[in-house]
Chains A and B, each alone.
Chain A
Amino acid sequence: MGVSISLNINGEARSLDNVEPRLLLVDLIREELGLTGTNIGCDTSQCGACTVHMDGLAVKSCTVLAVQADGSDVVTIEGMAEDGQLTAMQQAFWDEHGLQCGYCTPGMIMAGVKLVEGNPDISDEEIRHGLEGNICRCTGYQNIVKAMKVAAQAAA
């Protein structure tokens, strides 16, 4: 017994019929919309790999039902770079070697953008604290912190 929902995904209006009420937003994004840049890492909202922006807030899309996103503006990692032009956060991750296997990276970038927004002089401590909900197994976080600091300045 599905329901119909409409949402704006990366700037494009989409309507979907017959959406199961139990369908997770992350599965809607990955399976129905085919945007597989948003990864699933833990199923228990610990790791943040599935972080997207919903109505201007960073949310873990494994913890949102697709039907809750009805009428929302959702931005995923695919909606960041425009015409291949990386955003400041993406560029900083590249420049500072903020990724290794790349799996947590989309979630880190989506979380990072919101974390540094309006705070160009954000401290290491604030970034580390703000990243408690995003797990990376490869980098030891050091270059992620560095990248976010650089991006915070660049975005200002």
Chain B
Amino acid sequence: MAKFVGKSFKRVEDPRFLQGQGKYVSNLQRPGMAYVAIARSPHAHADIKGIDASAALELDGVVAVFTGQDLIDGGVGQLPCGWVVPDCKIPERWPVVPDRARHVGDAVAVVVADNPYVAEDALELIEVDYEPLPVSMGARATTEYRAQQIHSEIPNNTAYSWALGDEDGMRRAFVEAAHVVELDLINQRLIPNAMEPRACMAEWDDTMEEMTVWTTSQNPHPIRLLLSGFTLGIPENKLRVISPDVGGGFGSKIFHYPEEIIVPWVARAINRPAKWVATRSESFMTDSQGRDHVTNVRMAMDATGTITGLHVQTWADQGAYLSTFAPLIPTALSITLFSGLYKIPGIWGEMKGTLTNTVPVDAYRGAGRPEASYLLERIVEKGAQKMGMDPIAFRRHNLIPADEFPYQTPVAFQYDSGNYQGLFDKLEEISGYGDLREEQKSKRAEGKLWGVGVSGCIEASGPAPSAVAGSLGSAVGFWESGTVRVHPTGKVTALTGSHAHGQGHETTFAQILADELNIPLEDIEVVHGDTGRVPFGMGTYGSRSAAVGGSALVRSATRVREKMTKIAAHQMESRPEDVYFDDETGNIRVQGATDEGMSFFEVALAAYTAHDLPPDIEPGLEETAFFDPSNFTFPNSAHIAVVSIDRETGEVTLEKYFGVDDVGKVINPMIVDGQLVGGVAQGVGQALWEHGIYGEDGQLLTGSMMDYAMPRADRFPQIETDRIETPSPTNPLGVKGAGEMGTIAATVTVANAVVDALAPLGVDHVEMPFTAERIWQTIQAHS
């Protein structure tokens, strides 16, 4: 009775955004509010010898200046790391550093003023006596013997080492291999740049001793937990965290940030509401960044081109501190995907998490999985070349067959469902693959550089079975909660611990519930992002919301239906098993009866009047369920990119893009397509333009949107997407994640296209991003 699921309903959240009524944190005001600005280190590594705030304090309108020591004396705690792999060394991390700055942008002092312009003026007047120190840079170089030590308690700047797979099997594969291919590659540093800069506002109620914090977070409940238990010390029952409309996250708004501690601490210290809004420059210097892996990968094949072994060694730059989930990304979210879409018996992945004098690195759209797909699909491409096989034929030769699911990989994960040959069937069809290769031949005959890039990618989404997460290092569980509250009038409020910041849950979750409860879409309001209203939740990341959050709501709706069935049966003097929710009338009726039955409203009202309930039924009509998934879901994709390269300038143009994805059952095709296309654009961004660059001295050279190349509209062709659907058996909706697949696939697809375009020159690898300069240099070096 899916009247709603599977259909493209327009989004119910849109009218407020379209009319400028979005409730973003920076738009909120409280009476008497003060403004917080933060003095930040201009040095990548420096001792702080003293801070003189006297001139700032004399400025009219300045309320207070606080140092790191003031906050420590005022009871703040260190920012904890929420994912600890074995033997992981966690560096000290204070919200405002008391004695040493370890990256450009580290918070050094806090200014509070009556207006934001005065707060900025005061920053200029704060005198900080810095003693610069040597820096340590580079994911691998930072581990070298002579490298500057960043944290005295962490030797060789190496926070952890982690490995997974079958080392013996891998060695055997290489000993017995007929062919071996190898690549050194860099997955460059990225800067997330959600369009809404982070912001935080706080209000302290001195009488009630209650704190309300508004913050741009993808997961307000875990932020409350961390604030309460670790950093701010206000009990959870006296602390409310609200993340209203949030303007994009892409992972960067998962983490617990210093400003979420500083602002409420200030609000309580001055007993006045306070607000901080990041400048874009601060976003560049303080939002956790993405990727930055240095990798060596080798792949073993037998004489027929069957992949038999894979060995990966990676150095993952984690920046100056371990951000909230940093150690998770290169380990349990990356090595676990090294099998890709293929049967590979011997896989061994080794990972070192290293520290440098840079902004911390954590999850960024895809989070570990784009790093896995990049190295795997680059080496697979090289394998196809080595075997002289067409890239699709080579992949097809190695795919996991559709009849082998669930499929256990040698790197921990068990894939839920898939039809990987079917992906490539559809991809060849929609892209006209044969014709593309013909076109390439004629372009090459004309001397043009024209490449067709192919990829087949896997993702693990919908984290995660809590017990599995715990065994891999997580400090938290990854279930989700969902509450369905049917009001006496029959209207429904649904509370979800998932958070939407562009994904459209207010629409898709309502679609799910409209089907489950057999009521109109407009009778359901979905509430999220407020710890004062939603019991608990783990938030949104890892493409988990539909699979985990949606499933929790299905479960609570099922319980509501069961209760309504019992009440209706009692009132209509029939047996519960004879009562059904009638699609046509929307009523709750008795099988075979000729009357109209009871309306949804009548049954809801009966639950609240409680005049005539079955003896074992409590009054009221509200159910809460917690859904802990039995497994991840495993979305998968096959993509093609076509690029042309201008020989004279090195300019790369993305000519065509095709993507076929299996994201399981689809709740709202319009929204899913939007996620996939947007994801592709972000992945293309990494391949062609984006690069967070630091100088040798640790200065962030790409510190604004004038220096960091954001993808723009005129650089894209129409992106063609299609889907196949193999439902996931691990959740009641059959869904898999849709938010990250595009990004995971697109970067390496474009990379393979660029290398394919340059192949006639003898090029077999180029590092990203493929800027005109880099490609021009490559062409010169091979001419």
Contact = CB atoms under 8 A, between A and B. Distances in A.
B10 A101 contact: no
B705 A47 contact: yes
A45 to B, nearest CB: 9
Nearest to B193: A137
A111 B324 CA distance: 38
B19 A77 contact: yes
A48 B706 CA distance: 13
A132 B704 CA distance: 16
Contacts of A31: 116
Contacts of B13: 102
Contacts of B682: 137, 140
Interface in A121-156: 124-125, 127-129, 131-132, 134-145
Contacts of A145: 713
Given A41-B195, A100-B674, A132 B713 contact: yes
B117 A20 contact: yes
Contacts of A33: none
A146 to B, nearest CB: 10
Given A42-B705, A94-B14, A138-B678, A102 B22 contact: yes
A103 B199 CA distance: 14
Interface string A101-115: 111111001000000
B20 interface: yes
Interface stretch (B264-272, B501-509, B603-611): B501-509
Given A42-B704, A135-B710, A137-B195, A103 B20 contact: no
Contacts of A49: 195
Contacts of B245: 101-102
A61 interface: no
A42 B680 contact: no
Nearest to A139: B678
Please classify how large the interface on chain A is, using the bins under 10, 10 to 19, 20 to 34, 35 or more. 35 or more
B408 interface: no
Interface string A23-63: 10001001100011111111110110100000000000000
B17 A99 contact: yes
A69 interface: no
A128 B713 contact: yes
B194 A142 contact: no
Nearest to B746: A140
Contacts of B279: 43
Contacts of B26: 36, 39-40
A129 B719 CA distance: 17
Contacts of A90: 18-19
Contact of A95 (B10, B24, B248, B716): B10
A8 to B, nearest CB: 18
A37 B19 CA distance: 7
Given A94-B18, A135-B195, A137-B248, 19 more contacts: A20-B117, A23-B117, A39-B24, A42-B705, A47-B710, A78-B20, A97-B11, A99-B14, A100-B678, A103-B194, A127-B713, A128-B714, A129-B714, A132-B712, A137-B193, A138-B674, A139-B681, A142-B681, A144-B713
Interface of B: 10-11, 13-22, 24, 26-27, 116-117, 193-197, 245-248, 250, 277, 279-281, 501-504, 670-671, 673-675, 677-682, 704-706, 710-714, 716, 718-719
Interface of A: 20, 22-23, 27, 30-31, 35-44, 46-47, 49, 76-78, 80-81, 86, 90, 93-95, 97, 99-106, 109, 124-125, 127-129, 131-132, 134-145
19 contacts: A37-B22, A39-B196, A40-B26, A47-B195, A81-B19, A102-B245, A103-B196, A129-B713, A129-B714, A131-B714, A132-B713, A136-B195, A136-B713, A137-B194, A138-B502, A138-B678, A140-B681, A141-B712, A144-B713
